[in-house]
Amino acid sequence: MAEASVHGAIHRGSSGDRPNRDKRNRSPLPPSDRISALPDAVIHHIFSFLPLKDVVKTSVLSKRWRSTWTATAHLVFPNVRPRDHKRWPSLVENVLLRCASPQVKRFDIAHFRYDEAHHPRVDIWLRFAEKRRVEDLHLGFYNPLKVYYKLPRSLYCLSRLVRLQVSQCCFSLGTSVRWPCLKFLLIKFSELSDDSLAAICRGSPVLESLELQSCRGVTNIVIDSTSVKELVLVHPNFLNTGKIWAPHLLSLRVLGMWHSRSIFKLDEISSLVEAELDFGACGDKRMLCDLLKELFEELRGVSTITIGGRGRWCLQVLFLLKMEGVPSPLSKCQNLTLNAPVSQWNFPGIACLLRSSHCLEKLVIHLTGVPQLEFQLDEESQDHFNFDEEEFLCSRKGNFEHLRRIEITGSGADSFGSKHLLALIKFLLGNALVLKKLIIKAQLPTRHGQKRLQAAVLSKLLGVSRNVLNYQRASKDAEVIFDYPFKEMSF
Beta bridge partners of residue 440, listed in sequence order:
408, 482
Task: Please check whether residue 1 lies inside any domain of the structure.
Answer: yes
pTM, whole model, 2 decimals? 0.81
**Tens digit of each residue's pLDDT (9 = 90 or more) over 336-345:** 999 988 888 8
Span of 287-301, 318-332, 373-387, 467-481 with lowest mean pLDDT: 373-387
Task: Please check whether residue 289 lies inside any domain of the structure.
Answer: no
State which residues form the domain around 35.
1-17+29-72
Compute the half-sphere exposure of residue 87: CA atoms within 13 Å on the CB side of its CA.
Answer: 3
Beta bridge partners of residue 169, listed in sequence order:
149
Task: Please check whether residue 60 lies inside any domain of the structure.
Answer: yes
Q: Answer yes or no: is pLDDT of 1 > 60.
A: no
Q: How far is 9 from 42, CA to CA, in rounded Å?
A: 7
Q: How far is 58 from 52, CA to CA, in rounded Å?
A: 10
What Rg, from alpha-carbon coordinates, does the chain have? 28
Spatial CB neighbours of 487, under 8 Å, sequence gap ≥ 6: none
Task: Please check whether residue 45 lies inside any domain of the structure.
Answer: yes
Task: Please check whether residue 53 lies inside any domain of the structure.
Answer: yes
Domain count, the chain: 1
- When pLDDT is averaged across residues 72-79 and rounded to a whole number, the result is 79
**Tens digit of each residue's pLDDT (9 = 90 or more) over 16-55:** 444 444 444 444 444 455 666 666 666 666 665 566 666 6
Task: Please check whether residue 6 lies inside any domain of the structure.
Answer: yes
Q: Answer yes or no: is pLDDT of 414 > 50.
A: yes
Task: Please check whether residue 62 lies inside any domain of the structure.
Answer: yes
**Tens digit of each residue's pLDDT (9 = 90 or more) over 107-160:** 998 888 898 999 999 999 999 999 999 999 999 998 888 899 999 999 999 999
Q: How far is 146 from 279, CA to CA, in rounded Å?
A: 24
Task: Please check whether residue 120 lies inside any domain of the structure.
Answer: no
